Amino acid sequence: MRPGSRALTGAVLLAACLAAGFARGQEAPRNCDVPAYLLSTDSVLLKVADSIKNTHSLKVLVIGSRSSTIVSSEASAYPARLHAALKERLPSVAVDLSVELQTGKTAEEVDANLVKLLEGKKPNLVIWQTGTVDAMRAVDPDDFRGAVDGGLAALQSAGADVVLVNLQYSPRTETMISAPPYLDHLRVAAQQHDVPLFDRFSIMRHWNEVGDFDLFSTFPGVEMAKRVHACLGRALSKFVLDAARLDPAQQN
């Protein structure tokens, strides 16, 4: 199979199986707990902590792709579930969350719009989900790394904390899309820029391996997609607040 056809086939499968879903659902998982080591980070979200402590507000901007959505069910997609989880955990804080979808764009293509995306929103926190489109298109990993470095520098210069979110996991596309180089570059970029990396790939792989979700299923269903997104939103809210190093009293 030619590289272009291989990437396109992988893109279709990945988007269909994990973002849009199909008509048939599955039983609810027993749980979707995440091992502590997958939600730990040495990086600290200082601006998030400062805004929560001093202004009792938090403005979040999610920059995502198609895998940030669920067709016909945006209220069930992980950004909306993250918003709900943050409001639940921060009852006395005004939490505002907006989403800028960059569907089908590589990290380099998103870079060109980053400053404009932040205009008027003034977020304390930017959650940047990236890598999936680059892997699908087989973008040169070094070019991807350069784009991520440039994007992180631009976001930090704009005065926002940043959380990187890596690729989603799909056992059905492992032989079609080479994820490891992009995962490695995201991990190194996060370390060098001192930003937390939410390891969505490893978290979803863990859920698949322990049987919480059957991500290999040919017919995962919209209902399963909703549950995966709900679990991601819940885990991401914990990750963000833990990285802000807030004590329990500051979350009320």
Residue 162 and residue 156 in contact, taking contact as beta carbons nearer than 8 Å: yes
Q: Using the predicted structure, report yes or no on whether residue 220 has a pLDDT greater than 90.
A: no
Looking at residue 13, what is its pLDDT?
A: 44
Q: What is the pLDDT of residue 217?
A: 66
Minimum mean pLDDT range among 16-20, 47-51, 243-247: 16-20
Residue 156: its pLDDT value, please? Answer: 94
- Summarize the confidence of residues 158-182 as an average pLDDT: 90
Q: Please tell me the least confidently modeled range out of 73-82, 134-143, 147-156, 199-208.
A: 73-82
Q: Is the pLDDT of residue 107 over 60?
A: yes
Looking at residue 71, its pLDDT comes to 57
Task: Quote the pTM value.
Answer: 0.85
Q: Which of 87-91, 156-160, 221-225, 234-238 has the lowest mean pLDDT?
A: 221-225
Domains of the chain: 3-22+37-251 (3.40.50.1110)
**Stretch 196-225: mean pLDDT:** 82
Check residue 66 and give its pLDDT. Answer: 76
Cα separation, 136 vs 86, in Å, equals 31
